[in-house]
Amino acid sequence: MSDAMDWQADVGRDLMQSTGARLALLVRGEGASVWDADGKRYLDFLAGIAVNSLGHAHPVFVDAVATQAATLSHVSNYFATPPQLALAARLKRLAGTGPEGRVYFGNSGAEANEAAFKLARLHGGAERPRILALRDAFHGRTMGTLALTGKPYMQEPFQPMPAGVEHIDSTVEALEAALDDRVAALFVEPIKGEAGVVDLPDGFLQAARELTARHGALLIVDEIQTGAGRTGEWFAFQRAGITPDAITVAKGIGGGFPIGALITFGAASGLFYPGTHGSTFGGNPLGTAVADAVLTEIEDAGLVENAAVRGEQIRAAVAALGSDLVAECRGAGLLIGVGLRHPVAPAVVAAAQEHGLIVNAANDTTIRIAPPLTIGDVEVDEFAEAFGKALATVTDALLLENTPQTSEASA
Ligand SMILES: *Cc1c(COP(=O)(O)O)cnc(C)c1O
């Protein structure tokens, strides 16, 4: 094992430099806490980007991994297994698909969205070559999902993209202008997490449902970040009272075990036929047993309701800090974007880390907060204290910087 001081050098030498700098070397977690190699404890209000629904090392998670690993971990999709069938039935019930719904299992969000992309093509055929997605939405990093991701700077080094995807603004007018009978599917991220936890306008999902239905296009909702109870509903689309044709899930459903799924409703459930898609690992008994246990615990412990309640507490706590730096809170439940008045989110994240709090800069002006769904009063209070200190540190630095220009110093 390398010396704790050398880990940055190891990262620089051995890991593909496809992502930015690593913020710490973490060695252990429990509940909403993680510890680095020097023994420093952090309150984890990012949860591996909305993944660790039950926090770290939850007994239900640990037991599910250990028990299933000691029973049957992988068999390939030539065989069915009880955990796979149990999870599929549970996801159908939670998503409200009714009996005709179906579930395809992959191992990540991108794989779930790749399956959804192929579903859209099967539906569209030659008559419907167009696929719509929202500008700024994030759907993944593989070639297909990168084509869906509405961020030109991410696509640019990898052109040409798979064909047919067009990006539109998140407005009802843009939907009306774009939809016609040549559209196979519309992809929607119901709260744009990577874009800075940006909410859709009121009525957008309802209009999307109505217009896609009118033109015979599929409505596919990407619930990879918003699903598994995080927003205070099992899935964010449920707040809009609509029924999509498909949703994709990953992140929080596995609670830290890699798994993703495409869940279809109604006629879309009949589009895939034998030989059209598959994955060696997808839906294996280990991953599905863990996800089924995680979702069972979310249900039994009332964590969807907890997400709604704690989310309101966090918003109130942020407001009570009275920081001039904070403009607004966006998002729902325990997916919160704190919008800042200055592009200093990375500095706030660094200051928070100094004060023992892990949060994330979704972009230069947004702090993303996505703690485990298990948090209680104690964690909310601890968060507020550390976040207040971090905001104060950065506000002081800004004031110093702006001292010569007297007028705007504390805007
Ligand atoms: C994280 C995310 C993805 C991609 O999931 P991966 O598991 O990283 O492939 C897709 N869509 C949304 C909305 C996400 O937040």
Tens-digit pLDDT profile for residues 356-377: 999 999 999 999 999 999 999 9
Q: Which of 5-9, 114-118, 146-150, 194-198 has the lowest mean pLDDT?
A: 5-9
The residue whose CB lies within 8 Å of the most ligand 1 atoms, and thus the one to mutate among 49, 111, 139, 188, is 139
Residue 1: the pLDDT is: 47
Active-site hit among 45, 61, 117, 138: 138
Residue 405: the pLDDT is: 54
Domain ranges in the chain are 61-300
Tens-digit pLDDT profile for residues 238-269: 999 999 999 999 999 999 999 999 999 999 99
Task: Reply yes or no on whether the pLDDT at 3 is more than 60.
Answer: no
Active-site hit among 105, 117, 136, 251: 251
Residue 392: the pLDDT is: 97
Residue 189: the pLDDT is: 98
> 51 CA to middle of ligand 1, Å?
10
The residue whose CB lies within 8 Å of the most ligand 1 atoms, and thus the one to mutate among 142, 225, 235, 279, is 225
Across the chain, what does the average pLDDT equal? 96
Task: Reply yes or no on whether the pLDDT at 330 is more than 50.
Answer: yes
C-alpha 320: how far from its chain's center?
A: 27
CATH fold, domain 61-300, is Aspartate Aminotransferase; domain 2 (3.40.640)
pTM of this structure: 0.96
> 109 CA to middle of ligand 1, Å?
4
Tally Cβ neighbours within 10 Å of residue 278.
14
DSSP for 125-136, written as a single string: TTT--EEEEEBT
Residue 403: the pLDDT is: 73
Contacts of 341 (CB under 8 A, 6+ apart): 324, 325, 326, 327, 365, 411
Q: Residue with the nearest Cα to atom 7 of ligand 1?
A: 109
Active-site annotation holds for 151: no
- For the chain, helix, strand, coil in percent to 5 are 40, 20, 40
The 3-state DSSP class for residue 162 equals coil
Active-site hit among 44, 136, 222, 245: 222
Active-site annotation holds for 389: no
Task: Reply yes or no on whether the pLDDT at 89 is more than 50.
Answer: yes
